Structure 1
């Protein structure tokens, strides 16, 4: 089927009818871009549009498919030729649809295989009690605390206690307390190097006339670096976001997106309340109150 020839034929007949592309398009219920596409040989009218188009151009379907006016002598020959060309054109369209279908199915299967592979890798890490950042699911998984993680928690607690004790005090018997929630424990080197993302609540208390009073407090997100050195876990570094206009940028640089999303709920999901209760227990034990 010669699309270029048919397109030029449509354009010629349209002009003979003194019709613009837009006017012809409105008569048969299509857009002027469709008419332009046909006339430039970049497509053919849908089968449902062929009869209305022929009626407007005052030609037969056989003439449209031939791309020329026909006389009685060659009408039958062209008719048979057009039938064969139409069958071939239809077969090409069917084959194209089959190819698109096969490509789509192959892509879906590939995505499914990748998804299952990631899932199995994550499941394997869970079984081995390793922390997993689920890119597949969009949330973090923290495994049940084992011996190493318990020791890491102790190391963080010691680090925070030493930090608070080293800070200047305003009262003679002032003492600082800390409580934290770990959001993600990221193992960089098996049992040797960890990145821990946590929210830390710190408060300072003192006794005055045998009455317990609060001096100060802070609620801060932390990134801790914990390493296994000389047979024990110690915090070798820590980072917190800066205040003011730098806070948002620092949060994005320091914390993974999933951790940031969870930390955004820290004042709504009961985290602060639980940390506060833990500090109050520490305060009572220390001051015997």
Structure 2
């Protein structure tokens, strides 16, 4: 499937039906920006939209996938139909894979940010408790000094 050919075909059919991109988008429950991307050959519609799109443009799904009108007396070959279906499924799979990869990177980014935030919070907590620890250590040292100073000396027994 050729994105440019598909886009030009959708554009021509939409204009023949005297529809704007916004009107077509409303019929399909998508944004007019999505329709614009299809028509400029930047992307394909989701596979679930092919049938409603074909209906809105008064063409068959096969004509939509092929990017041209098929004359009524001319039939599309079984091999061509298989190839068109195979291509559309491959495009859909590639789009799903791209979205999964994007989601995976977003999740990794969120986990790294969360770990960084936890690290910052733990450091703040440790810095705020340091003076108490230092004071406790000084008290302990003073107590140890007191015991060493006041410890009775033992004489060694022979």
TM tier relative to shorter chain = 0.5 to 0.7
SS at match of 2:42: coil
- Alpha-carbon separation, structure 2, partners of 1:30 and 1:109: 32
Q: Is the 8 A contact 2:3 2:43 kept in 1?
A: yes
How big is the shift at 1:4?
A: 1.4
Deviations 1:174-198 (A, max 9, x none): xxxxxxxxxxxxxxxxxxxxxxxxx
Counterpart for residue 50 of structure 1: 50
How big is the shift at 1:6?
A: 0.6
How big is the shift at 1:86?
A: 1.8
Distance of aligned partners of 1:123 and 1:23 in 2 relative to their CA distance in 1, 3 Å threshold? closer
Deviations 1:250-271 (A, max 9, x none): xxxxxxxxxxxxxxxxxxxxxx
SS at match of 1:121: helix
Aligned pair partner of 2:82 in 80, 92, 100: 80
The structure with the largest strand share of the pair is: 1
Runs of 5+ in structure 1 lacking a partner? 130-142, 148-289
What RMSD in Å do the two structures reach over aligned CA positions? 2.8
Q: Is the 8 A contact 1:4 1:40 kept in 2?
A: yes
Counterpart for residue 63 of structure 1: 63
Q: Is the 8 A contact 1:62 1:78 kept in 2?
A: no
- Alpha-carbon separation, structure 1, partners of 2:6 and 2:82: 17
- Alpha-carbon separation, structure 1, partners of 2:3 and 2:44: 7
Deviations 1:140-196 (A, max 9, x none): xxx69x59xxxxxxxxxxxxxxxxxxxxxxxxxxxxxxxxxxxxxxxxxxxxxxxxx
Counterpart for residue 123 of structure 1: 125
Higher relative contact order (CA 8 A, sep 6+): 2
Aligned pair partner of 2:94 in 86, 92, 95: 92
How big is the shift at 1:91?
A: 1.9
How big is the shift at 1:80?
A: 0.6
- For the pair 1:7 / 2:7, whether they are aligned, the reply is yes
TM-score, length-normalised on structure 2?
0.68
- Alpha-carbon separation, structure 1, partners of 2:117 and 2:105: 18
Distance of aligned partners of 1:76 and 1:95 in 2 relative to their CA distance in 1, 3 Å threshold? same
Paired residues, what number?
134
Q: How does 1:130-169 map to 2 (within 5 A)?
A: none
Distance of aligned partners of 1:61 and 1:109 in 2 relative to their CA distance in 1, 3 Å threshold? same
Distance of aligned partners of 1:28 and 1:88 in 2 relative to their CA distance in 1, 3 Å threshold? closer
